[in-house]
Structure 1
Amino acid sequence: MPRPVKSTTAATTADEDVARQQAEITRLLLHHIHAPLAADLYLRGILPAPAPAEAVRFVIGSRKTRTPEGLLGYEIPLRANGEHGELRTGHDITGILRTLLTGTHIWSTSRVSDVMGMTLIRVDPATLAPCTANRDDRALTVLHGITAPAPEERPDPRLRGFLYLTKDRLRLYLDSPSAPSVIAADVRPSGGVTALLTALPSLLAEERLRTVDDADPHCRCLVDLTGP
């Protein structure tokens, strides 16, 4: 149950390189809420892993599944070769996810846990066979570069992830220069989207609207924007 945010709670500043890459991966993979990653498996959420982990959690399920209980999460480290390695790109992540979603994989119990009502598997990409980009992936890179290039300036707020909670409740994970730690915002896609996007920066800044959801470790606080 959400509770008020204590005024003495200090925001944890995420490493900016990791935060930027989480946002970039989210931007590049958003189309997989419509386009399957494999068979009938779609992206149902992207979660910024709680600090200090340099990782992203990808939530997978069927296209009709929009509740955490029917979803499966994979935590993938962002660095390719330990803590000093290069950060993985969205295309690297797509290949890893496709490998995970095809064939049979056996997981050690030490790598399996629960979060927000769904099973979470912590993946070691070094144990997986590599999956290279296909022609459609490469075509998408070209199209993205022309129609949706990476922003030159940091968006405010910046989208770090999202998660379907119900059929009409979507949780956004955001940060901004004034609030570098992750703030979650629950919204209704069926509502007034244009008005919501216009008002979102000011609503996130309203301290009185912030609560804490103890069941969600991916954000410091929560703003519920689903009301009338």
Structure 2
Amino acid sequence: MDEDVVDHQAEITRLLIYYAQVPFAGASCVRGVLPTAPSSGSIRIATGVENAYAPSCLTAYEIHLRSGEDFLTVYEVLAVLRALHTSPYIIPSVRVGTVLGMPLVQVDPSVEETAVEDPADRAFIVLRTLVHPYTEVKPDPRLLGFLYREPDLLRLYIETEGTSGVIAVDVRPSGALTALLAALPSMITEEERMAVDEMDPHASHAIDLTYW
């Protein structure tokens, strides 16, 4: 995998979880972050109103992570996402199909070029950097994305050493979270748990931990 792209997908996920319940524009929240193949150099972000789960109520936006030779910063990605939900930026983007039942929109590069950070984003950079200072030690397993599927069903997109590709892990937030999080690193490496979800192009394997 292109480690730089994977690192960037993980960093974007770490930022966007803040907007899973708090709107980033109007009433729009982040309902999922879907990691694409690193070779695509992009990421997909699903949006909808708070507590939206049905694919028909969500829209996935595919955003290119590079602007020229440089990566967009995580805050520039947030600015693009906000611009997409603010007129007149909706028009240039083109619907290219569906993914997981959601309309999939390819974001036009012109949106990336003209999107600007909100002043509040700049303040958030300061606060977030102080609370979560940069470290070269990478977490393992590493969260590359997520998707709210039902009120009590969350899909995690995880990458870990010792396995190939992204693993989709379905969990129930209402369960024994402390025990689940403690056991998760070992369970996601157990081959007998792995299956293939042919409907989800964002992961090479899937593990169902909803009844664990």
TM-score (ref. length: structure 1): 0.87
Question: Which residue of 165, 168, 178 maps to 1:184?
Answer: 168
1:87 to 2:74 alignment: no
In structure 2, what is the Cα distance between the partners aligned to 1:195 and 1:90?
31
Runs of 4+ deviating beyond 6 Å: none
Which residue does the alignment assign to 2:201?
217
CA RMSD of aligned residues (A): 1.6
Which residue does the alignment assign to 2:122?
138
- Asked if structure 1 preserves the Cα contact closer than 8 Å seen for 2:168 and 2:206, the reply is yes
Which residue does the alignment assign to 2:12?
25
In structure 2, what is the Cα distance between the partners aligned to 1:192 and 1:227?
10
Q: Which runs of 5+ in 2 are unaligned?
A: none
Cα offset for 1:202? 0.4
Q: Structure 1 pair 119/193, CA: closer, same or farther in 2 (3 Å)?
A: same
Map Cα deviations across residues 172-219 of structure 1 (whole Å, 9 max, x no partner): 001012124111100111111111110001000100000000000000
Which residue does the alignment assign to 2:91?
106
Structure possessing the higher relative contact order (Cα contacts under 8 Å, 6 or more residues apart): 1
1:125 to 2:112 alignment: no
Map Cα deviations across residues 30-67 of structure 1 (whole Å, 9 max, x no partner): 10112211100000000011352110000000002023
1:201 to 2:201 alignment: no
**Structure 2 letter corresponding to 1:193:** L
Map Cα deviations across residues 103-143 of structure 1 (whole Å, 9 max, x no partner): 1433576x420010100001122256623222221111111
* Fraction of identical pairs, as percent: 43
- Asked if structure 2 preserves the Cα contact closer than 8 Å seen for 1:96 and 1:125, the reply is no
In structure 1, what is the Cα distance between the partners aligned to 2:99 and 2:25?
23
TM-score (ref. length: structure 2): 0.94
SS at structure 1 position matched to 2:124: helix
Q: Which runs of 5+ in 1 are unaligned?
A: 1-13
Question: Which residue of 38, 43, 66 maps to 1:56?
Answer: 43
